Chains A and B, each alone.
Chain A
Amino acid sequence: KAGVTQTPRYLIKTRGQQVTLSCSPISGHRSVSWYQQTPGQGLQFLFEYFSETQRNKGNFPGRFSGRQFSNSRSEMNVSTLELGDSALYLCASSKGGTHGTDTQYFGPGTRLTVL
């Protein structure tokens, strides 16, 4: 079956702009999580959506927001971009269970560069 897809793969923006990233989960998966990956901080959890509702939220400022649609596709938005927002943004999908064997599958990521 098709894996997790993310668009666009690369993005260059300037400070102050806003950006929207998209994630299409594996068919049948209801949970979509977003992570930010930087060399200094590693992978950090942004938020998780399950059945169109935000289920968990990480410790990021309100400039980072997301949503999930009825077909489980998800978007994340970053407003008023800062240089420090340059990172690889990863999306992961899963069935959404709370058992330890609920596997997350990651997409290839969107590489965002803020100039």
Chain B
Amino acid sequence: TQLLEQSPQFLSIQEGENLTVYCNSSSVFSSLQWYRQEPGEGPVLLVTVVTGGEVKKLKRLTFQFGDARKDSSLHITAAQPGDTGLYLCAGAAYGGSQGNLIFGKGTKLSVKP
């Protein structure tokens, strides 16, 4: 059974601080996706990383896919209250469809003004 361990589970920081969220597995994934979910809504895709070692930037968010395609990280620079939400990583198995994603349990981020 493929599992994705996400850490930390909860994070409460002040506006302007930096943070990193980790997503680790013993399994290899063909791609890894990061989502953000707000209360009462479905997850919204932030980024998909496909190539081992890939780094993608989305404004103040930096995403990295590990060289071995088993882990990923999300780094937020100068966090803002608007970044508050549940961050989820999700992996797609090799040879499978992207419609069968394995999710981490999420990191609940709270950014206080």
Chain A interfacial positions (CB closer than 8 Å to B)? 4, 31-33, 35, 41-45, 48, 50, 55-56, 58, 90, 92, 94, 96-109
**Are A103 and B97 within 8 A (Cβ)?**
no
Residues of A within 8 A of B100 (CB): 33, 45, 48, 55-56, 58
Chain B interfacial positions (CB closer than 8 Å to A)? 30-31, 33, 35, 40-45, 48, 50, 88, 90, 92, 95-106
What are 27 A-B pairs with beta-carbon distances under 8 A? Answer: A31-B97, A32-B99, A33-B99, A35-B101, A35-B103, A42-B105, A43-B90, A43-B103, A45-B101, A45-B102, A50-B97, A55-B97, A56-B96, A58-B100, A96-B97, A99-B98, A100-B31, A100-B48, A100-B92, A101-B31, A102-B98, A103-B48, A104-B99, A105-B45, A106-B44, A108-B41, A109-B42
**With A42-B103, A43-B88 as contacts: A100 and B98 at CB distance below 8 Å:** yes
Residues of A within 8 A of B101 (CB): 33, 35, 43, 45, 104
The answer, among A4, A44, A97, A102, for a CB contact under 8 Å with B42, is: A4
